[in-house]
Structure 1
Amino acid sequence: MVTLAVCAEMVFRDRPIQERVRRIHDAGFQAEIWDWTRHDLDALARTPADFSSMTGYISGTLTDEDGAAELLRTAEESVKAAEHLSCPRLNLHGTGLDGRGLPVVPVTGEPDGPMRATAHRTLTRIAELGESAGVVFTLENLNTAVDHPGVPFARAADTLALVEAVDRPGLRMNLDLYHAQIGEGNLIELVRRAHGLGLIGEIQIADVPGRCEPGTGEINYPAVARVLADLGYDGTVAMEAWASGDDDLALDRFRAAFTL
């Protein structure tokens, strides 16, 4: 069976973050957070919540040497924060994102050869950091059409290729099916390929359009759940989605979509 988690940044938003993760825990899910620097880690650690994932850097980028050095530096800080919450996974993107989800260092067009070489070197060092600390860094695919224009290495195909090239247990893919549906589609074959390579660290979901819970859009998540069961996937599926209405109902719909 998969483990189900819920992003605390996107549900129960009228409540403090500590109460959000408590509500998520009480509903039977693990909890996820984004930028840990915005939260009181001591207060979060006092909750009964099990933390599944958190952002694994504060700033930096994969595309140039200075940005890579900053990403590595802040990844080391993030490892310490993850230890405080006993959080096993730390999430990365191709570059830092601002408050609107836009890249701090945007890239026009496809990343070139030197950018890819820098990304490969940086992710190898990130993987080594994860292995020495006993955590896994995950590289998330994003969509550039709606939410994150200008992010480098955003497509699932690019993210998967980088993780495959690094080929270290300290780096896996955060396969976000919401972003993949907007950017590429063909979700079931994408899941099969990533799972066949053994490179999925986590799967995140939301429906399209709207980025709300399963059942509010076009993605057939019960079909995805059946494929995951057939493949023997026993990792984490996390709902990184806004509640379309009632937050508790959104969590119930998520659970129902992945309960066979």
Structure 2
Amino acid sequence: MSERQRADQPGSFTLAVCSEMVYLDEPHLDRVKRIHDAGFAVEIWDWTTKDPAALAAIGARYTSMTGYVSGDLITPAGADALLESAEAAIGFATRIGAPALNLHGTGLGEGGLPVTPVPVVTGEMWLAALRTLERVATLGERHGVRFVLENLNTEVDHPGTPFARAADTLALVSAVGSPHLLMNLDLYHAQIGEGNLIELLRRARPWVGEVQVADVPGRCEPGTGEVAWPAVARALAEAGYDGVVALEAFASRPGIAGSDAALDAFRSAFTL
């Protein structure tokens, strides 16, 4: 078995690649096929524009997708909209075999900006978010799927997003206390907003359902920025994490060769 074929079994992690951020000159299905042929699992974002039958026909392993279309965690109407769209997302996830559905603190629009920015998060909002996420966990339990709440950064990419920090998502997920609602610990966002990544992942480990990575600054593949990714990989393994680590990063170089190199750099950083 070649090294490229072993990309889904490096040490104890399952390596996945976000198909929305690499091979950008290719049609989406061709991106998925390239990622799959390189031996990685695949992640997707907006499922409403995609054909589940075509995705399933490629034979790729899909590890996560966006788990909602609209709504928020804090208003009654927003919570209902989120639950309704999450239920629709479950149907798509079932068709492609994706076990994890990704959520954020609020709906994101053009450029990743929150549809309804929240300048100050109040105590009442925290309680409302907790109640909404309890409903989300119940929905996941009913359908046998797992929702993951992703931390974001407000300094660079997502200003005005509530419950954005990893400390926030950890607080909410641990308060719900369900295996059907875990964290998507995005270490790119955490490095910008909080830093101290190894201590963060050790603290969050019991509640982590997925890990996403990109280097800082630039949001490109490991080795292009300031993070010591091999040390992070070792810390994850030492903490007993054996789940998905996903590259959610742009390739630092253009073209197919640049994306190939980005996937190789990711594989190297997380192969123990």
TM-score range, shorter chain: over 0.9
Q: Secondary structure at the match of 2:132?
A: helix
Separation in 1, partners of 2:74, 2:131: 10
Deviations along 1:115-152, whole A, 9 cap, x unmatched? 11111111011011111111100000000000000000
Q: Secondary structure at the match of 1:219?
A: coil
Separation in 2, partners of 1:258, 1:213: 12
Q: CA deviation at 1:97?
A: 0.7
Q: Does 1:210 align with 2:250?
A: no
C-alpha RMSD over aligned residues: 0.7
- The 8 Å contact of residues 74 and 132 in structure 2, kept in 1 or not, is answered as no
- The 8 Å contact of residues 68 and 86 in structure 2, kept in 1 or not, is answered as yes
Unaligned runs of 5+ in 2: 1-11
Separation in 1, partners of 2:129, 2:242: 29
TM-score by length of 2: 0.93
Q: Does 1:61 align with 2:69?
A: no
1:236: which partner in 2? 244
Deviations along 1:155-194, whole A, 9 cap, x unmatched? 0000100000000111000000000000000000000001
**Equivalent of residue 113 in structure 1, options 90, 106, 123:** 123
TM-score by length of 1: 0.98
Deviations along 1:16-46, whole A, 9 cap, x unmatched? 1111111111111100000100212221111
2:182: which partner in 1? 172
Q: Secondary structure at the match of 1:118?
A: helix
2:52: which partner in 1? 41
- The 8 Å contact of residues 222 and 266 in structure 2, kept in 1 or not, is answered as yes
Separation in 2, partners of 1:128, 1:169: 10
**Equivalent of residue 181 in structure 1, options 188, 191, 213:** 191
Code of the aligned partner of 2:229: Y
Code of the aligned partner of 1:252: D
Aligned residues: 257
The percent of aligned pairs where both chains have the same amino acid is: 64
Q: CA deviation at 1:99?
A: 2.3
**Equivalent of residue 84 in structure 1, options 95, 99, 102:** 95
Q: Secondary structure at the match of 2:58?
A: coil
Over 3 Å off, 4+ runs: none
Separation in 2, partners of 1:42, 1:48: 10
**Equivalent of residue 12 in structure 1, options 23, 32, 44:** 23
Deviations along 1:206-254, whole A, 9 cap, x unmatched? 0000000000000110000111121121011000000001000000000
Separation in 1, partners of 2:84, 2:125: 19
